[in-house]
Amino acid sequence: MQPRDLSDHVAYEAGRGIEEVARQLGRDPSEFVKLASNENPHGPSPAAAVAIRETASSVSSYPKAAHADLAAAIANRWAVDDEQVWLANGGDGAIDYLSRATLEPDDTILVPSPGFAYYGMSARFHHGDVREYALEREDDFAQTAETVLSAYDGDRIVYLTSPHNPSGSTIALEAIAEIAAETDDDTLVVVDEAYGEFADRDSALALIEGRNGFDARDDVAVLRTFSKAYGLAGVRLGYAVVPDEWADAYARVNTPFAASELACRAGLAAIDDDEHVERTVETTLESRAYMREHIDTHVWESEGNFVLVDVDDASTVAEAMQERGVIVRDCTSFGLPGCIRITCGTDDETERAVETLNAVLEDLEIECEGDGDREGDGNEDETETEVADT
């Protein structure tokens, strides 16, 4: 007995954890800082941590009340109906629900490349196929309606990521509205806003509800998560907000009690912890600015809690940084073998990452002196000033 043919399926490559790296290198975990998985440097919402402890003794019960209460709290936050909120086991769980509700065998979805691997994984799990539109490095991964529509071919779901992982670029609401208007009536435009709290952009929820001068649409859904700004990655809690017309489908496609009692109680506490979110966002903005100013190579502008950095040879640089105690994301798995992604950390973590990266780049330059100078990013004068200030 064998499983079905999974040869077209690709395993998800998660960022490596401190314990895993420390064991491999035979080192003490305290020597490392992890800036590879876009996690919250301040940890979970303190209110959520209290709620988890207080809920521990009641996890023998199914989370029916907590599930309903959290859906209501999210709906209140976004001014939508409770039934429009589809709670899930992380944002990837919400992607699965949309796949179940939308895809027939051999339907296609359209996804960004580079992009989040799970969009395609979920489609294939549900017997769909995957097509791609390219976000070009040479264009700073700009997201436009033309880019998406030129690749569109009647796909059942079109995924947009704003902010985009791993580049940090965003897409304007006007462009999203144009994509929704120009695609077929039975195409669902899904806007993944996992990093939305860090972006200076209005949510695409405005398109679902007909706000900010837009007509209400029944072909747009929005993904959100508690993993990033709220610091709850470990409890796995995300959700989709769908049009009114989609509300009834949830009961037919969701996993019963997919969001656990602990996750729901943590979410209920975290959603009102504005102080924690504001602190997290402030740290992110400061870290992003610091890295763009002080890293001795090109850093793309980002509206996520991370930056994408041009390093020519990602695997070599990431491995060298890891040896020096800083774990970052080698973006080869995104199809960007010349880039690393660095999560925005605390002041100390960010400064250590910048110092370590610059030292690695300098060492690699010295090793390669005989092969000519490294290519700059077109801002050599500015870079020299930044090095002097570091």
For residue range 279-331, list pLDDT tens digits in order.
999 999 999 999 999 999 999 999 999 999 999 999 999 999 999 999 999 99
DSSP labels for 101-130? HHPPTT-EEEEEES--THHHHHHHHTT-EE
Helices (H), 194-343: 205-209, 250-253, 261-270, 274-294, 314-323
Mean pLDDT of 39-48: 97
Mean pLDDT of 106-133: 96
**Which is more confident, 354 or 374?**
354
Does residue 209 sit within a domain? yes
Do both 102 and 244 map to the same domain?
yes
Whether 124 contacts 144, CB under 8 Å: no
Does residue 87 sit within a domain? yes
- Residue 221 backbone dihedrals phi, psi, to 5 degrees: -130, 155
Does residue 376 sit within a domain? no
Q: How many Cβ atoms are within 10 Å of 3's Cβ, its own excluded?
A: 5
Do both 346 and 218 map to the same domain?
no
Do both 197 and 339 map to the same domain?
no
Whether 160 has a pLDDT exceeding 70, the answer reads yes
Do both 179 and 289 map to the same domain?
no
Mean pLDDT score of the chain, rounded to an integer? Answer: 91
> pTM of the full predicted structure?
0.90
Q: Give the pLDDT confidence score for residue 369 in this predicted structure.
A: 67
Mean pLDDT of 84-97: 96
- Residue 329 backbone dihedrals phi, psi, to 5 degrees: -100, 115
Does residue 187 sit within a domain? yes
Whether 9 has a pLDDT exceeding 80, the answer reads no
Answer positive or negative: Cα dihedral of 266, 267, 269, 271.
Answer: positive
% residues pLDDT > 70 (the chain): 93
Q: How confident is the model at residue 183 (pLDDT cuts 50, 70, 90)?
A: very high
Whether 76 contacts 241, CB under 8 Å: no
Does residue 350 sit within a domain? yes
Helix (H, G, I), strand (E, B) or coil at 182: helix
Does residue 12 sit within a domain? no
Domain boundary among 270, 297, 316: 270
Do both 197 and 309 map to the same domain?
no
Q: Dihedral angle at the C-alpha atoms of 126, 131, 137, 141, nearest 10 degrees?
A: -70
Whether 48 has a pLDDT exceeding 90, the answer reads yes
Mean pLDDT of 157-173: 98
Q: Are strands 85-88 and 238-241 parallel, antiparallel or unpaired?
A: antiparallel
CATH code of the domain in which 257 resides: 3.40.640.10
Do both 283 and 233 map to the same domain?
no
Cis peptide before 256 (omega within 30 of 0): no
Does residue 387 sit within a domain? no
% residues pLDDT > 90 (the chain): 80
Do both 93 and 185 map to the same domain?
yes
Mean pLDDT of 155-179: 98
**Which is more confident, 20 or 56?**
56
Domain boundary among 270, 288, 318: 270
Whether 352 contacts 326, CB under 8 Å: yes
Domain boundary among 254, 270, 286: 270
Q: Which domain holds residue 259?
A: 46-270
Do both 250 and 317 map to the same domain?
no
Do both 255 and 218 map to the same domain?
yes
Query: Could you give the CA distance from residue 370 to residue 235 in angstroms, rounded to a whole number?
Result: 50
Mean pLDDT of 120-126: 94
Q: How confident is the model at residue 378 (pLDDT cuts 50, 70, 90)?
A: very low
Q: Give the pLDDT confidence score for residue 384 in this predicted structure.
A: 35
Do both 54 and 69 map to the same domain?
yes
For residue range 192-221, list pLDDT tens digits in order.
999 999 999 999 999 999 998 999 999 999
Buried b (16+ CB within 10 A) or exposed e, 177-188: bbbbeebeeebb
Do both 24 and 132 map to the same domain?
no
How many structural domains compose the chain? 2
Whether 194 contacts 225, CB under 8 Å: yes
Q: Give the pLDDT confidence score for residue 380 in this predicted structure.
A: 41
Whether 204 contacts 220, CB under 8 Å: yes
Q: How confident is the model at residue 371 (pLDDT cuts 50, 70, 90)?
A: low
CATH code of the domain in which 299 resides: 3.90.1150.10
